[in-house]
Structure 1
Amino acid sequence: MSWVYLALAIVTEVAATLSLRMASQGRALWYAPVGVGYLVAFTMLTLALSEGIPVGVAYGIWAAVGVALTAVASRVLFKEPLTRVMGLGIVLIIAGVLLIELGGAH
């Protein structure tokens, strides 16, 4: 169940961040999903930690997947740039998190 909580934390954090982008464009109604999304995201992250995922692993995965999903979604939804260099950065972040995960397995 811990991985489900972590997945929900990631999805809701990304949704809240994308909602923040909408709110920043003068659409005040988007502040409600921002607040709710971040509240749910941190609650789910807390539950994932309480189920036994180490904080370094959970936060690393949350950050890496969150960065990747936010970059791709902002490209699709807002036509923001997603260059090859940015893509390489995402790959390196994910590789670093995988190394942390593998190192924590010992």
Structure 2
Amino acid sequence: MAYLWLTIAIIAEVVATNALKASEGFSKLGPSLLVIGGYALTFYCLSLVLKAIPVGLAYAIWAGLGMVLIAIVAAIVFDQKLDIAAVVGMAFIIVGVFIISVFSKAISH
């Protein structure tokens, strides 16, 4: 169940962060409400995740995957360009999250 909450937290963060860009400094109501609701949902779900997964590991997975997904959505929605260094760096983040999730003994599988 913890991984379901973590997935929801990541998706909510991706939505909220991209809505933050779309809110144009909180001058647009719809995106601003998405920011507030998205981050509220994110941190609620993370609080549930931390009942089962150590904080350092949960944060590494949440932040790493969130960063990669936010960059991908921003590239698609806001036409933000990703150079080769950004793509390679994000590939390393994904590999790191995979290693933590599959091989770490500090996390319950």
* TM-score, scaled to structure 1: 0.88
Count residues in correspondence: 105
Matched, 1:45 2:50: no
Summarize the alignment of residues 42-81 of structure 1 with structure 2, pairs less than 5 Å apart: 42-50=43-51, 52-81=52-81
For residue 87 of structure 2, what is the aligned residue in structure 1? Answer: 87
* Percentage of pairs with the same residue: 36
> Residue deviations 1:33-91, cap 9 Å, x none?
101100100000111111x1111111111111101111110011010011111011101
AA partner of residue 73 (structure 2):
A
Letter in 2 for 1:47: L
Cα RMSD, aligned residues only:
1.8
Gaps of 5+ in 1: none
2:13 counterpart SS class: helix
**SS of 1:79's equivalent?**
coil
Alignment of 1:90-105 (within 5 A): 90-101=90-101, 102-105=103-106
Contact 1:12 1:40 in 2 (8 A): yes
Please tell me the residue identity of whatever aligns with 1:67. Answer: M
Contact 2:16 2:38 in 1 (8 A): yes
Sort the Cα spacing of 1:63 and 1:26 in 2 relative to 1 into closer, same or farther, 3 A: closer
Q: Distance in 2 between matches of 1:77 and 1:19?
A: 11
Q: Which consecutive segments of 4 or more residues in structure 1 shift more than 2 A?
A: 94-106
